[in-house]
Amino acid sequence: MASITGVFISSILPVILIILLGFGLSQVQEIQAESLNTLTLYLLTPALIFHSISLTELRTTALLKITIGVIAFLFIIFIVSVIFGWGTGKHEAHLSVFILIAVFGNTGGLGIPLADFAFGPVGRQTAVLFAAVHGALVFTVGLFIASHSGGGSTQSSLRRVFSYPLIYAVVISVSIRVLGLVPPANSVIMQTIGLLGNSAIPVMLIILGIQLAQTEYKEALSMTGTPILFRFGVSPVIGIIVAFMLGFQNSTVAQVFVLLTAMPVAVGPIIFVVEFAQNTRINGVSLPEFVSASIFITTLLSIPVVTAIVVLLKSVQIM
């Protein structure tokens, strides 16, 4: 079995240190994560996606399986979370927000760097595609779900998702691969895009640290038990089942796929909930506080949990 200490130092500690830099910076300087988030969303992440998919070592069949796998995984956990929510008496706004935090994990800001450090280039390429498909669904299905948490309209959801270049980065990079039009890796254009993409990973982690430092969570901590269960229990079990059903030929791809299903609560839902249900309260706790607490506590718990998962994944052959 892989050494827990070795995995922690090589794969987890670099991620934690960069998050702490963002956390510490927020404590000594007035800094708004929104500008960094815009930079990452509109420039750095699309560059990372384009460069990684265009030059990936993965075969087209693997790319297709990852895409199908992400959709299948999210569909299954969505159904499970809805049934669980109904069964435990969650309704309307509470149910909608619970579904958001149960279904969507932080596959981009945390998942991509973690896969990169833990599993190398193939891990990064797998994580980039997983996060791209996942992100597209967050900004479509996630927006639709969030709109029901506060009775808002969903008419602008489709326009909003197509305003993000992430979608176009996926389509263009896949298209030029299929058509055989990918520029050489050492060309000026690909080196420039690669530099932009490489900077996305540390910036993502710095943003996460800033957001955690600015999170209001104390009153809602008692409500985070179920989100913890779903993100670190139910979600990876479903991920393992989907991975086995798809039968990835590359063991590293399968390992990263499972890893990314065990990420802490995604940061994106807090943006949606603030927009649609800022004043809605459950048991005296506002829905934004509930989501913030879930993000905070699952991110902290992900340090030991994800370390253990990486150790297990490196010690077994899933496929």
Based on C-alpha coordinates, what's the Rg of the chain? 19
To the nearest 10 degrees (0 to 180), the angle between helices 60-87 and 251-260 is 30
Q: Which domain holds residue 93?
A: 4-315
Tokens matching residue 90: 């969650």
Q: Check residue 231 and give its pLDDT.
A: 94
Reported confidence tier of residue 279, pLDDT bands at 50, 70, 90 = low
Cα–Cα distance, 299 to 220 (Å, whole number): 15
pLDDT confidence bin for 68, thresholds 50/70/90: very high
What is the mean pLDDT of the segment spanning 133-150?
A: 73
* pLDDT level of residue 317 (50, 70, 90 thresholds): low
Residue 3 is predicted with a pLDDT of: 63
pLDDT digits (tens, 9 = 90+) for 179-235: 889 999 899 999 999 999 888 878 878 887 887 787 666 767 778 889 999 999 999
For 74-115, how does the pLDDT look when each residue is reduced to its tens digit (9 = 90+)? Answer: 999 999 999 999 998 887 778 888 899 999 998 987 888 889
Mean pLDDT of all residues belonging to the chain: 83
Domain count of the fold of the chain: 1
Looking at residue 159, which CATH number applies to its domain? 1.20.1530
